[in-house]
Structure 1
């Protein structure tokens, strides 16, 4: 069986990772002290003052089985990233942390509209994050490593700035931004509320993914694909609701599930996060197992490394323990992700043939 160290040494691809969900606990402490943000109280009733305890608080608060409660943890990470310096620091550290885990390609998403409280403009937010990414990539390269990182700009689905953020993504697409996304609570905020933004992106030949089928069911997935034209599905866990498995183990796919599989719609699955938010009962019961068996285009992701207390290597290792996956399975997940990246075809192919496949040879 593959060990965690084995997996850390393999090149990996990450498509669904939130910048504001991946801060180092120590960095949260530093930035909170700089800006005067009050962190949550610890067991002693006083604001938490050490990194280990703060990391535990984030994991415990996120481990509630509620997406709404899970999202509340972001109030602290967003509050401390309202300046150019803070955004550049967390972006640089994000790249360094991913590279240390063996990630060779990553698309990291965040909502620029949530970082304007100290007077930054949307363009200044994107520029600060890109400066951090560039610094992180340069540091990794100088140390003999390899990583490619792109931004995904997210609009909050309960707000009304999606057109503005879509235009921002197009303006920056040749300067480090790979695409667009919408995120936030699904219930009551269907993707069709942002149809103008998605139609604009399609006219501009731009890429976008949509959080769908995590806390809400098949209608959210159907709208994301058939009304909005999403290239990928963020999570997409509830597509399993359109699959019936009889007593003999034979699976019957409904019309939507068949469409998703037939057209190779990538599913950005995040096992640990899905268990934390109640989208899956456990890793062993995660729909990823059945969807992988049926050969949907499954990819494995971290979602929020701070809240989940996880890395992509640990996500893979949890699947190895739960489903007995081997090297061939992990290569399949990784190639799936690289094929699905919002990166030019020749660049994807080079990473698959020159970096990923050689490392996964037995």
Structure 2
């Protein structure tokens, strides 16, 4: 945590929701409104585990917390099922933006896998266009209401499929109409980024940026693979980079029991490479606990390595992953970190600026976003 300054504010009175935020890791199919799922499911004849919005929302949250991977994955069966038409995709995308605005997000990169949304007869390009239409409607609605948000699509390929090059070409085709980056998602362990190395080479040849899910379900080798073969500019989650960091505590009999232990930190070669080059980590605190990504460190937020990574200089960003399944918002994730690690306004600004600097935007647009965010945080200082 940064040292308090004269410009710090009392965090107990801080309105985190009003702060301008940046979201880099948020899945479209993981952020639907329960009421919308029910309406769209009725229209397409899809059976749900509950038809009351409150009960359905509870079912999603309980399934995500069940400890059962099959039940967790089942949640996405239901959201994806209602996102197979142009109308469904556009509505979900529009509401997604509206919910981000309500959370104080001013810039967001929304990731989703078009290849999972073709069973209703849409082509890949038509699916991307339908989502873009919804995103633009959401932005226009925000402007009409006096709010501001900028959004872009992260076009995602599924790791277990063999459509990497096709999806990479899709992303590049839409680079001037909403697509800002490429991602691979799905089962990380056993499906390395090297399976898509030709696609990543194509993206690099076309100067199109990529983030790669790595360091969540698999460890350091997966991160290295994402950096080498995926040419990743950011790491989706990336929290298991902490496995390449060693903290050794020495017993000090003279120390007061109320004083915190001080440890010697050793940064491994891979962790050093990621930290020293400012490769951003798209950390999703609550989701990481649910999926067991940080189980080797502990089972609760107090043992999550996000603070270790932040304190040792990594480009940590804070994200939600799947807002419906994890029952979270970016506001809530920031508040969780404040409560757990005693972060203050300066810490929230630094974490947000990490996201600004890692955004897949041209330099001049990042500079403008930086100024906008800084101004918003300065207003919070009073």
TM-score, structure 1 length as denominator? Answer: 0.96
Distance 2:72 2:312 in 1: 30
Structure 1 residue aligned with 2:269: 255
- Identify unmatched segments of 5+ residues in structure 1: 41-47
Structure 1 residue aligned with 2:115: 113
Task: Report matched runs for 1:186-335 at 5 Å.
Answer: 186-248=188-250, 249-280=263-294, 281-335=299-353
Structure 2 residue aligned with 1:18: 27
- Listed one character per residue, the Cα deviations across residues 35-60 of structure 1 (whole Å, up to 9, x for unaligned) are 000112xxxxxxx1100110011011
Task: Report matched runs for 1:143-182 at 5 Å.
Answer: 143-182=145-184
Q: Residue 210 of structure 2 contacts residue 230 of structure 2 at CA under 8 Å; is this kept in 1?
A: no
> How far did residue 66 of structure 1 move?
5.5
- Aligned to 1:360, the other structure's residue is in SS state helix
Identify the match of residue 59 of structure 1 among 52, 57, 61. 61
Moved >3 Å (runs of 4+): 64-69
> How far did residue 68 of structure 1 move?
5.5
Seen in structure 2, the aligned counterparts of structure 1 residues 124 and 105 have a Cα distance that, compared at 3 Å, is same
Seen in structure 2, the aligned counterparts of structure 1 residues 4 and 166 have a Cα distance that, compared at 3 Å, is farther
Distance 1:16 1:313 in 2: 14
- Aligned to 1:189, the other structure's residue is in SS state coil
Distance 2:322 2:370 in 1: 25
Seen in structure 2, the aligned counterparts of structure 1 residues 208 and 16 have a Cα distance that, compared at 3 Å, is same
Distance 2:236 2:313 in 1: 18
Q: Residue 64 of structure 1 contacts residue 277 of structure 1 at CA under 8 Å; is this kept in 2?
A: no
> How far did residue 2 of structure 1 move?
2.5
Structure 2 residue aligned with 1:356: 373
> How far did residue 279 of structure 1 move?
1.3
Q: Residue 26 of structure 2 contacts residue 110 of structure 2 at CA under 8 Å; is this kept in 1?
A: yes
RMSD of aligned C-alpha atoms? 1.2
Task: Report matched runs for 1:32-111 at 5 Å.
Answer: 32-40=41-49, 48-65=50-67, 69-111=71-113
> How far did residue 307 of structure 1 move?
0.2
> How far did residue 228 of structure 1 move?
2.2
- Identify unmatched segments of 5+ residues in structure 2: 1-9, 251-262
Distance 1:163 1:68 in 2: 29
Radius of gyration: which is bigger? Answer: 2
Q: Residue 200 of structure 2 contacts residue 229 of structure 2 at CA under 8 Å; is this kept in 1?
A: no
> How far did residue 65 of structure 1 move?
3.9
Aligned residues: 354
